[in-house]
Amino acid sequence: MQHPYKILVVDDEPDLEPLMLQRMRRHIQAGHYTFLFAKNGLDALERLNQDKDIDMVISDINMPKMDGLTLLGRIHEINPHIPSIVISAYDDMKNIRTAMNRGAFDFVTKPLDFGDLHLTIDRTLTHLREWREALASHDNLLTLQNELNVAGKIQQSILPTRFHETSDYQIVGQMDPARNLGGDFFDVLHLQNGRIGLVIADVSDKGVPAALFMMCSRTLIKSAAIGNRGPGDVLCTVNNLLCDDNDVAMFVTVLYAVYDPKNGELTYANGGHNAPLIVHADGRSTLIPMTGGIALGVMPDLQYGQETVTLSPGDILMLYTDGVTEAMNDEDQQFGIERLHEIFAASPPKDSQECNTMVFEAVKAFAGDTPQSDDITCLTFHRKEAET
């Protein structure tokens, strides 16, 4: 139960204290209020400084040493959250206005009507209680916000940031989340015989549920990819595992590709993800054929077909999420795949880093001030020209 509210009454009339205690005795006995009394503004300030538990103040205006209007200003300095009720002479609008302007919550007039005073006190305390609840919610929100920021950092930290580079290839990946927690991710896996696994994925929705599903998907893909299994097989296994107990119908679109440096072959399987682009050295870009797979987590026991293409020396493979192609501008247009073809044709990127930078800058320039509504992710793999 709420402890009794502590109310400081400030008045130079000696009669007020016994009268107040007598007229409010039922509320005091019921444990609603307790009263403290001060003789003037200075006395009241001293009480407020000594006793930090005082919840509200009821003050007369005309008093020796320090008047009620001055007191109101000073209370605000001690604790701006303590509400005050002023007692004014009947018809003294000028002082009432001044009191309200200095932050008084309400006023009552003399001669005191204790029934009205009781209602006014209760209204003030209700306001105080709601205000305190709002402050507490605000604090909880800040804590939650802080936790989300930390979770976002953890999520970013599991994405690869340093990429293995050989004389044959270069890899660069980047994810810009729309909120603290994203649903996109990418991964680079080092498989047997120098083969490289490239993963790009997009979990339905964003926020905490997406982040949890993303962590789970990433780990499953990583473990299923170990060994010599084909991409189609890997997606099939991960899909079945994700479908177990997936009552919330979360799903993830995944493109998983394995590059073999022996012959430049890229074998891939697609689970409902956007088709990657190959950007050729001359700036032409083409979408690689889709394999017709369904997003993972939707339905168990699905087969995932796979395809193989050969990357020529100089080719750049660009894996991306729909945050790139569905980025909106202020005219409600989508960035689209055509713009990607155009920017690469206009200025063929010479390596992965340049390709990634071009994409992020083009999307940013296109979107302008339109807020980013989806995570934007790009994982770019460049098969280098043979050194001569």
Partner 1 sequence: MGIHIEWKDEVLIAKADGRIDGTNAQEFQRELETAVDTSTHAMILDLEHVSYISSAGLRVILLTAKSLLKKDAKFAVCSLSAQIREVFEISGFDKIIAVHASQTEAIAALKN
In the complex, which residues of this chain contact partner 1 (CB under 8 A)?
Answer: 183, 202-207, 248-251, 253, 271-275, 290, 292-295, 298-299, 322, 326, 332, 334, 373-374
How near is the Cβ of 203 to partner 1 at its closest, in Å?
A: 8
Residue 63 and residue 55 in contact, taking contact as beta carbons nearer than 8 Å: no
How near is the Cβ of 246 to partner 1 at its closest, in Å?
A: 10
How near is the Cβ of 169 to partner 1 at its closest, in Å?
A: 27
Residue 252 and residue 214 in contact, taking contact as beta carbons nearer than 8 Å: yes
Q: Looking at beta carbons only, is 168 or 326 nearer to partner 1? A: 326
How near is the Cβ of 222 to partner 1 at its closest, in Å?
A: 22
How near is the Cβ of 144 to partner 1 at its closest, in Å?
A: 18
Q: Looking at beta carbons only, is 232 or 293 nearer to partner 1? A: 293
How near is the Cβ of 283 to partner 1 at its closest, in Å?
A: 25
User: Using CB atoms within 10 A of its CB, is residue 384 exposed (0-12), middle (13-18) or buried (19+)?
Assistant: middle
Q: Quote the distance between the C-alpha of residue 42 and its chain's center.
A: 47
CA pair distance 101, 84, nearest whole angstrom: 12
How near is the Cβ of 295 to partner 1 at its closest, in Å?
A: 5
Q: Looking at beta carbons only, is 44 or 252 nearer to partner 1? A: 252
Q: Measured between alpha carbons, how far is residue 320 from residues 203, 253, 309, 323, 338 in Å?
A: 13, 11, 18, 8, 14
How near is the Cβ of 103 to partner 1 at its closest, in Å?
A: 38
CA pair distance 214, 57, nearest whole angstrom: 54
Q: Looking at beta carbons only, is 64 or 305 nearer to partner 1? A: 305
Q: What's the chain's length in residues?
A: 388
Six token digits for residue 374: 């989806």
Q: Looking at beta carbons only, is 40 or 274 nearer to partner 1? A: 274
Residue 78: phi and psi, rounded to 5, are: -75, -50
How near is the Cβ of 274 to partner 1 at its closest, in Å?
A: 6
How near is the Cβ of 299 to partner 1 at its closest, in Å?
A: 6
Q: Looking at beta carbons only, is 83 or 183 nearer to partner 1? A: 183
Q: Looking at beta carbons only, is 152 or 264 nearer to partner 1? A: 152
Q: Looking at beta carbons only, is 11 or 202 nearer to partner 1? A: 202
Q: Looking at beta carbons only, is 288 or 295 nearer to partner 1? A: 295
CA pair distance 134, 139, nearest whole angstrom: 9
What would you report as the CA-atom Rg of the chain, rounded to the nearest whole angstrom? 34
Please report which helix (H) or strand (E) contains residue 15, including its range. none
Contacts of 2 (CB under 8 A, 6+ apart): 129
Instruction: Of 160, 192, 314, give the one whose Cα is nearest residue 259.
Output: 192
Please report which helix (H) or strand (E) contains residue 267, including its range. strand 265-271
| Residues 126, 128, 129, 135, CA torsion sign | positive
Q: Measured between alpha carbons, how far is residue 231 from residues 197, 238, 271, 293, 379 in Å?
A: 9, 11, 10, 12, 17
Q: Looking at beta carbons only, is 15 or 330 nearer to partner 1? A: 330
